[in-house]
Amino acid sequence: MLFSTVVYAALAQSLSASAAMMQVTVAANNKFTFTPNSVTAQPGDIVAFSFVGQNHSVASSKPNTPCQPERNAIFSDFQPIPGNPNANPKPPNGNTPTFMVPITDTQPMYIYCSQAQHCQQGMVMVINPPNGGAVQYYTQKAAQANNNVSPRGGLSGGQMINDRAGTNPRNVLGGQAGDAA
């Protein structure tokens, strides 16, 4: 727990005075959700995706092709969390795996879980939605998607803190993730 506190403190110090860290819970109460399902972020902000249950991922797509990775997609890789499927389990080391995504512009970012059919079941969100109906539109498009595809190449576009193995942070802020198939 101390390690994660030190890492979070270091990240917070690296943010400018006006930057913010926005928390998104992945699978709160073991539901196929990102909570909240939309956030508005500015360049320099960080969106922190905390994995609290089951086995999920964070991946990015285009709005008209949900459940398919965009070119150079962000990807948390899969984060299995063992425990009771009816409660928010704690990881074995007591620390919550968190995928830290730095925001570089104000363009919309469409996020989905690439596990099984989670995207089609509504496990989607939008960072910087362009309008009030963006999340609903993306959710409806996701429900109609034929396939759910993970980006290739593993972790990309962010930093994993307290990953599933309880190891040191892994940092991949660039990278070449998979193209939409």
Q: Which two tokens stand for residue 97?
A: 């795996």
| Average pLDDT along the chain | 83
In this predicted model, what pLDDT tens digit does every residue of 115-144 receive, in sequence order? 999 999 999 999 999 999 999 999 999 999
Pick the closest to residue 144 from 119, 124, 126 (CA basis).
119
Task: Tell me what pLDDT residue 173 has.
Answer: 46
Task: In whole angstroms, give the CA distance from residue 101 to residue 139.
Answer: 21
Q: Taking the domains of the chain in order of start, what are their residue ranges?
A: 2-172
What confidence category does residue 13 fall into, taking pLDDT thresholds of 50, 70 and 90? Answer: low
Lowest mean pLDDT among 50-54, 70-74, 107-111, 161-165: 161-165
What tens digit of pLDDT does each residue of 93-104 get?
Answer: 557 899 999 999
Question: What tens digit of pLDDT does each residue of 151-181 get?
Answer: 999 999 999 998 655 444 444 444 333 333 3
> From residue 105, how far is each of 40, 109, 128, 159, 172 by CA, in Å?
11, 10, 9, 18, 18
- CATH among 3.40.50.300, 3.40.190.80, 3.10.450.50, 2.60.40.420 for 2-172: 2.60.40.420
pLDDT at 174: 43
Average pLDDT rounded to a whole number, residues 20-42: 95
Q: Helix (H, G, I), strand (E, B), or coil: what is residue 71?
A: coil
The answer on pLDDT for 111 being more than 90 is yes
Looking at residue 163, its pLDDT comes to 66
* Confidence (pTM): 0.80
SS3 content of the chain, % helix, strand, coil (to 5): 15, 25, 60
Pick from 47, 40, 30, 41: nearest CA to 123: 30
Distance between the two ends of the chain, CA-based, in angstroms?
40
Answer yes or no: is pLDDT of 16 > 60. Answer: no
More confident residue, 161 or 4: 161
Q: Is the pLDDT of residue 148 over 70?
A: yes
